[in-house]
């Protein structure tokens, strides 16, 4: 399974999954149809699936046009997004599985950013390989999504599920927010040497206009404050020893950053 990262809008990423043996493709969160159609033509591949993580327009905006071009493609999304994702046909819950080619993804229910948000996790195909996580706007490189429809407790539970995945998992998040996320992280976790090193690396990448997605989940566990709500230094920073309250206060600070 080859994964192509397609930039769209101002800072979105669309992910195209390609099975070269079968000449089929699937797309995750098509903000727009045009870059997807262009790459499909270059690959001479048939689109068979649209995997949506949630209903926001910058994640489903290309659904209808893609289906006009490939009417046989199946649209997947969360059960609770019924009526909100254009042309949705399959309604997924925690623990469901979806298949693309010879790869099977596990569905995680990860509400918080929205009430119906899901993520797709493809375990490694063989020992030593990387897993692939398509998490929409739940976890970002260096950050996490705003809470539009969910609660801090829901988001902590959702991020806990992601945190349990292996370190050698690539995090394919849907926006290029990494540099600003790490700038905020340094304001609350200044003494973290892994974070300091990651910030310098990412700053150089962005200076060269390089994408910072995907990231490795192991790096997120060491440097992303929104996966580290149990760390004493972060709890001291927000004056709480309660994990959910620590997360909520960090998220509130980020909202004002």
DSSP 242: -
3-state class (DSSP) for residue 31? coil
pTM of the full structure: 0.96
The overall longest dimension of the chain from CA atoms, in Å, is 56
Tally the C-alpha atoms within 13 A of residue 240's C-alpha that lie toward its C-beta.
Answer: 12
The dihedral region occupied by 44, where left means phi > 0, alpha psi between -120 and 50, and beta the remainder, is left
CB 249 within 8 Å of CB 234: no
pLDDT at 32: 97
Per-residue pLDDT, 225: 98
For the segment 174-188, the average pLDDT, to the nearest whole number, is 98
pLDDT of residue 233: 95
Range of the domain at 43: 2-255
Give residue-wise pLDDT tens across range 10-62. Answer: 999 999 999 999 999 999 999 999 999 999 999 999 999 999 999 999 999 99
List the catalytic residues: 54, 56, 58-59, 113, 137, 175
Q: Give tens-digit pLDDT for 135-167.
A: 999 999 999 999 999 999 999 999 999 999 999
Token pair, residue 198, equals 């990651």
Residues 195, 29: Cα–Cα separation, whole Å: 29
Count structural domains, the chain.
1
Average pLDDT over all residues of the chain = 97
The Cβ of residue 156 has, within 10 Å, a number of other Cβ atoms equal to 22
| Whole-number Å distance between alpha carbons of 251 and 234 | 12
- Position 19 scores a pLDDT of 98
Q: What is the pLDDT of residue 108?
A: 98
Query: What DSSP string describes 185-229?
Result: HHHH-TT-HHHHHHHHHHHHHHHTT----SEEHHHHHHH-GGG-T
Q: Within a 13 Å sphere around the CA of 226, how many CA atoms are in the beta-carbon half?
A: 31
**What confidence tens digit (pLDDT) does each residue in 59-89 have?**
999 999 999 999 999 999 999 999 999 999 9
* Confidence band of 1 (pLDDT split at 50, 70, 90): very high
The CATH number of residue 16's host domain is 3.60.15.10
């Amino acid at each position: 399974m080859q994964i192509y990262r397609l930039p769209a809008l101002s800072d979105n990423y669309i992910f195209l999954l390609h099975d070269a043996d079968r000449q089929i493709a699937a797309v995750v969160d098509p903000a727009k149809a045009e870059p997807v159609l262009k790459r499909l033509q270059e690959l001479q591949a048939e689109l068979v699936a649209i995997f949506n993580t949630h209903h926001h327009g910058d994640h489903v905006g290309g659904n209808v046009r893609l289906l006009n071009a490939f009417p046989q493609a199946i649209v997947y999304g969360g059960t609770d997004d019924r009526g909100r994702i254009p042309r949705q046909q399959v309604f997924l819950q925690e623990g469901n599985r979806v298949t693309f080619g010879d790869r099977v993804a596990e569905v995680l229910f990860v509400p918080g950013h929205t009430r119906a948000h899901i993520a797709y996790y493809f375990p490694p195909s063989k020992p030593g390989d990387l897993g692939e996580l398509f998490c929409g706007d739940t976890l970002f490189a260096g950050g996490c999504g705003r809470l539009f429809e969910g609660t801090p407790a829901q988001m902590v539970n959702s991020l806990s599920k992601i945190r349990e995945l292996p370190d050698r998992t690539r995090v394919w998040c849907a926006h290029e927010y990494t540099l600003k996320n790490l700038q905020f992280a340094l304001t609350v976790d200044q003494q973290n040497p892994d974070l300091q090193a990651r910030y310098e690396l990412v700053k150089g990448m962005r200076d060269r206009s390089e994408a910072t997605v995907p990231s490795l989940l192991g790096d997120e566990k060491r440097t992303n404050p929104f996966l580290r709500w149990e760390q004493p230094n972060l709890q001291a920073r927000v004056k709480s020893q309660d994990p959910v309250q620590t997360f909520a206060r960090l998220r509130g600070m980020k909202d004002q950053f």
